[in-house]
Amino acid sequence: MPDIDRRDFLKLVGAGSVGVAAGFVLAESIKHPVEYLIPFPVPPEDYSPGIATWYNTVCRMCAAGCGISVRTREGRAKKIEGNPAHPVNQGRLCALGQAGLQVLYNPDRLTTPLLRDGDRTGPFTQITWEEGLSAVADRLASVDGGRIYLLSEGVRGHLAGLFELFMAGLGSNRLLHYDFDYPHTLYAANKRFYGENNLPYYDLRNARYLLSFGADYLGSWISPVHHGLGFGHSRQGGEVRGYFVQIEPRMSLSGAAADEWIAASPGTEGLLALGLAHHIVAEGLYEGDDRDDWMSALAAYSTARVAEQTDVPTNTIARLAKAFARNQPSLAIGGGAAGNHSGGVDTLVAVNALNYLVGNLGKSGGLLFNPDPVVGRPTRSRRASFQTMLELAEDARRGNIEVLIVNQTNPVFTLPAATGFKEALAGIPLIVSLSSFMDETTALADLILPSHTYLESWGDDIPEPGVGFRTASVSQPVVSPLYDTRATGDIVLGLAQKLGLTDSMPWTSMKEYVEQGWRQIHARGADTETRDFQAFWRAILQAGVWGEKLRRDNGAFALDKSVIDNIGAQQPEFSGSNDDFPFVLHPYLSNTFLDGRGANLPWMQELPDPMTSVVYGSWVELNPATARQLGLAQGDLVRVESPHGSVSAPVYLYPGIRPDVIAMPIGQGHAEYGRYARNRGSNPIEILAPRAESHTGALAWSATRVKLAATGKKAALVQTGGTSRQLGRGIVQTTDATAGSGHNARLNSIPIKVVST
């Protein structure tokens, strides 16, 4: 039992009149709840059947760090909703976040520690935690610290701190956080341009004009739910309707939501940004002191030249530049394919330059600089880029790695096959996986110590980027553990205990560690005097989130001349020649699977792709005109061949894509990962060229050229939608008037009667 006694608990339940109860108290008796209609024939005193209890915790389905409230009934989690108090998502939640319940209740979870018999083709046998932890601890104790690697998914908060302590205790510096979709280039570009380590807060809510260079901010970029809130408010919440422009070769979710979709030539977003910047400066829309510096730095990006390079008409460039400068506050963001190209950092710096030129920095509706977070997070050097992973693979091949501990990350799936990462793992004698699921990487492990899911563990998190002020949230278990698994932190602490690292890590449980860490946050607070820590802690557990509503003083932002001089953008470089490989492959993060982590969730598999309504599979998006040229029809199975391999998928005729680009969603094509994900669709990452972005070493995943080969076969393209044309039936009606500005939309034929009471 945690150290809240029953009396405390009852008080808390009483206090939680809005349905937010604190603490985690559940009897041990619900290990096998399936057997009872109501899990407790004789319920414990502190628990009332039929009354829902809500726990606030943090969503870990993506890196956004939304706060969630989990509704539980009879000790089971029933529904995840956004935590209304959380500044990131304000009560809202995306589809993937909703589906977190199916992570918890996934039928394919790993339920006990497993040890591999023999080599890595052999089966696993069940072992006890004691055996598992001892086996790992023995091995760790016997090898040189420098030969131990810990490869984790990107974690923040105290767990990241715990990893640091643990690896330091082992004398290893080989701690890496690897996420496929971590925006390395965005961090690098911000560092270069603003000198900031944190991402700024993008204030979409108050922006009146948004230029997005490839950032699918509503689908997969950084914090989709928060951006969704901002988008909605900007669209219809304010006096003036926000205008959204999306620049990307393939229309994403954000492209569909935008007022204008501009299909610039892939990889030329940076050029276009500089072209716009040139126009702004040249037309006198920028009047800063360093105007001449800008003029000279941008001299090469005249509208005409940029128009030619980017395939965007000159008048469009002029119009966008003017509108961007005049409609204040405006905001330019970049990411996605634009950021993950050969010159990704340059592109994003160019986007930052646009924000600078029209004065969007540090103001509402533009971008606001974030204060440093209160809880730790991995430094950027801990964030494994593509280059780092290649080095890891190289180390493995050379036999420099004795033990690799993998925590919930799946590099075997998210690294191109051409890197040989999977094969390189053979050079590591012991691979320990802490994953909750049998993913592709875990399938190669020798020992599996399955972690709790996030709904069963203690922890904390900070949203990255923040929301302009300091905030942090605690995650707490909402149900008692389903299986014989342990929280990642507890596994690490268990190992530390066995290794005698109790000096640096004296805690017996992750909860204790988190709680102790939060004493420091309590100490910062204004109410330190009035509230003791226990009261503060209970309040935090109830609210789920802590915030310090102090905006950082953004002050006057001074730009160094060297930054201006270094601004530039090149034509993109692709792997594969134009002649042999006529199409640019545009892989994109699906907003349901992200980098593939959502593929084992049946709700996500069954959720129609927003743009195509395809479920349960992969597809290749092709412009109808291109398809006509190639003689391909919807559903034809094609082979997509790059210089590094090929994958097959059915054709989807997609009107919102450049004719010289083909797009494929990332996320399907798992070889492992449970019944819902296995052997479904194909993974475009497999065939990507192992090309890194020049400054950061991030994978340039949109820089591969491919060709299409018809197979002559039809493939099942399972769609929920039928015909996606309206045929003049007025289903989605439009008006050209904006809210609050004297529109002339006709009233509908039958007035809606509003009856007064």
Partner 1 sequence: MAAEHNELTYADVNRDVVRSLVETGPKYYVTLGVAVGVFLTCFFFPWFYQLFYGIGAAGMNQPTVWGTYLASFIFWIGLSHSGTLLSCVLHITNSAWRKAMYRSAEAMTLFSLMVAATMVMVHLGRPWFIHWSLPYPNQMELWPNFRSPLLFDVMAISTYLAGSSIFIYMGSIPDFAAVRDRTSGWRHHMYVLLSLGWRGTDTEWHRLGRAYTFLAVLIIPLAVSVHSIVSWDFALSIVPALHQTIFAPYFVVGAIYSGTAGIVTVMFMLRKYMNFERYITELHFDNLGKLLLLLSLIWTYINVLEIFTGWYSGTSTELEALRYKLFGFYAPLYWEMILFCAVAPLLLISRRFRTSFVPMLFLSFAINIGMYTERFLIVATSLSRKYLPDTWGLYVPSLVEISILIGSVAMFVTLFLVFVKIFPSVSIYEVKETMDVPRKGTPQWQTTR
Partner 2 sequence: MSVVDRFSESWRKYRKPGYYEDFDYAWTMTIDLDRCNGCEACVTACQAENNLPIVGEEDIARGRQMQWIRIERYWDGEYPNARLSFIPMLCQHCDAAPCETVCPVSATYHNQDGLNVQVYNRCIGTRSCAVYCPYEVRYFNYSNHHWPAPLDQQLNPDVSVREKGVMEKCTFCIQRIRQAKDHAKDDGRRRVRDGEVQPACVQTCPTEALVFGDRNDPDSQVSRSLNDPRAYRVLDELNTRPSVVYLKKVVTDGG
Provide the minimum distance between the beta carbon of 731 and partner 1 in the complex, in angstroms, as a whole number. 6
Site string for partner 1, 581-620 (x = CB under 8 A): --------------------------------x-------
Nearer to partner 2, 228 or 334 (CB): 228
Nearer to partner 2, 426 or 739 (CB): 739
Nearer to partner 2, 326 or 524 (CB): 326
Provide the minimum distance between the beta carbon of 205 and partner 1 in the complex, in angstroms, as a whole number. 31
Q: Select from partner 1, partner 2, none the partner in contact with residue 31, using the beta carbon and a kind-dependent cut-off of 5 to 8 Å.
A: none
First to last CA, the chain: 53
Site string for partner 1, 632-671 (x = CB under 8 A): ----------------------------------------
Nearer to partner 2, 209 or 546 (CB): 209
φ, ψ for residue 243 (rounded to 5)?
A: -115, 130
Q: Select from partner 1, partner 2, none the partner in contact with residue 469, using the beta carbon and a kind-dependent cut-off of 5 to 8 Å.
A: none
Q: Select from partner 1, partner 2, none the partner in contact with residue 728, using the beta carbon and a kind-dependent cut-off of 5 to 8 Å.
A: partner 1
Return d(Cα 239, Cα 306) in angstroms, integer: 35
Nearer to partner 2, 487 or 611 (CB): 611
Nearer to partner 2, 121 or 749 (CB): 749
Q: Can you give the length of the chain in residues?
A: 757
Provide the minimum distance between the beta carbon of 287 and partner 2 in the complex, in angstroms, as a whole number. 21
Q: Which of 526, 731, 747, 754 contacts partner 1 by CB under 8 A? A: 731
Return d(Cα 107, Cα 114) in angstroms, integer: 17
Site string for partner 1, 707-726 (x = CB under 8 A): --------------xxxxxx
Provide the minimum distance between the beta carbon of 395 and partner 2 in the complex, in angstroms, as a whole number. 40
- Is 188 within 8 Å of 345 (Cβ atoms)? yes
Q: Select from partner 2, partner 1, none the partner in contact with residue 365, using the beta carbon and a kind-dependent cut-off of 5 to 8 Å.
A: none
Part in contact with partner 1 (CB under 8 A); list of ranges 15-23, 40-48, 80-88, 728-736: 728-736
Return d(Cα 497, Cα 86) in angstroms, integer: 35
Nearer to partner 2, 452 or 511 (CB): 452
Q: Select from partner 2, partner 1, none the partner in contact with residue 17, using the beta carbon and a kind-dependent cut-off of 5 to 8 Å.
A: none
Contacts for 242 with CB less than 8 Å, ≥ 6 apart: 204, 207, 208, 209, 210, 231, 234, 235
Nearer to partner 2, 15 or 615 (CB): 615
Asked if residue 746 binds partner 1 (CB under 8 A), the reply is no
- Is 334 within 8 Å of 186 (Cβ atoms)? yes
Return d(Cα 353, Cα 272) in angstroms, integer: 12
Nearer to partner 2, 114 or 717 (CB): 717
Residue 677 vs residues 274, 348, 598, 683: alpha-carbon distances, Å: 42, 34, 9, 12
Provide the minimum distance between the beta carbon of 619 and partner 2 in the complex, in angstroms, as a whole number. 14
Q: 140: closest CA among 165, 158, 167?
A: 167
- Is 450 within 8 Å of 111 (Cβ atoms)? yes
Helix (H) or strand (E) holding 194: helix 184-194
Asked if residue 729 binds partner 1 (CB under 8 A), the reply is yes
Provide the minimum distance between the beta carbon of 257 and partner 1 in the complex, in angstroms, as a whole number. 18
Provide the minimum distance between the beta carbon of 725 and partner 1 in the complex, in angstroms, as a whole number. 6
Nearer to partner 2, 432 or 545 (CB): 545
SS3 708: strand
Q: Select from partner 1, partner 2, none the partner in contact with residue 151, using the beta carbon and a kind-dependent cut-off of 5 to 8 Å.
A: none
Q: Select from partner 1, partner 2, none the partner in contact with residue 7, using the beta carbon and a kind-dependent cut-off of 5 to 8 Å.
A: none
Nearer to partner 2, 58 or 251 (CB): 251
Provide the minimum distance between the beta carbon of 748 and partner 1 in the complex, in angstroms, as a whole number. 17
Q: Which of 18, 558, 727, 755 contacts partner 1 by CB under 8 A? A: 727
- Work out whether strand 459-461 and strand 201-202 pair parallel, antiparallel, or are unpaired: unpaired
Return d(Cα 48, Cα 454) in angstroms, integer: 25
Return d(Cα 596, Cα 600) in angstroms, integer: 8
Provide the minimum distance between the beta carbon of 598 and partner 1 in the complex, in angstroms, as a whole number. 24
Residue 368 vs residues 192, 362, 464, 469, 734: alpha-carbon distances, Å: 16, 4, 13, 9, 34
Q: Select from partner 2, partner 1, none the partner in contact with residue 420, using the beta carbon and a kind-dependent cut-off of 5 to 8 Å.
A: none
Nearer to partner 2, 33 or 429 (CB): 33
- Is 266 within 8 Å of 661 (Cβ atoms)? yes
Return d(Cα 132, Cα 135) in angstroms, integer: 5
Nearer to partner 1, 122 or 721 (CB): 721
Asked if residue 733 binds partner 1 (CB under 8 A), the reply is no
Task: Name the amino acid, one letter, at 136.
Answer: V
- Is 338 within 8 Å of 216 (Cβ atoms)? no
Task: Name the amino acid, one letter, at 718.
Answer: V
Return d(Cα 11, Cα 26) in angstroms, integer: 16
Q: With CB under 8 A, what is the number of residues at the site for partner 1? A: 11
Q: Between helices 303-310 and 269-282, what is the axis angle to 10°?
A: 160
Q: 176: closest CA among 146, 155, 147?
A: 155
Q: Select from partner 2, partner 1, none the partner in contact with residue 551, using the beta carbon and a kind-dependent cut-off of 5 to 8 Å.
A: none
- Is 272 within 8 Å of 247 (Cβ atoms)? yes
Residue 677, both tokens: 């994900």
Provide the minimum distance between the beta carbon of 33 and partner 2 in the complex, in angstroms, as a whole number. 6
Residue 8, both tokens: 């405390």
Asked if residue 728 binds partner 1 (CB under 8 A), the reply is yes
Provide the minimum distance between the beta carbon of 727 and partner 1 in the complex, in angstroms, as a whole number. 5
Nearer to partner 1, 631 or 728 (CB): 728
Q: 43: closest CA among 73, 2, 82?
A: 73
Provide the minimum distance between the beta carbon of 684 and partner 2 in the complex, in angstroms, as a whole number. 20
Q: Select from partner 2, partner 1, none the partner in contact with residue 735, using the beta carbon and a kind-dependent cut-off of 5 to 8 Å.
A: partner 2
Return d(Cα 624, Cα 632) in angstroms, integer: 9
Q: Select from partner 1, partner 2, none the partner in contact with residue 603, using the beta carbon and a kind-dependent cut-off of 5 to 8 Å.
A: partner 2
Asked if residue 750 binds partner 1 (CB under 8 A), the reply is no
SS3 333: strand
Helix (H) or strand (E) holding 645: strand 645-653
Q: 660: closest CA among 701, 685, 700, 630?
A: 630
**Residue appearing with tokens 């014989």:** 484
Return d(Cα 514, Cα 310) in angstroms, integer: 50
Nearer to partner 1, 302 or 634 (CB): 634
The residues of the shown chain that bind partner 1, judged by CB under 8 A, are 613, 721-729, 731
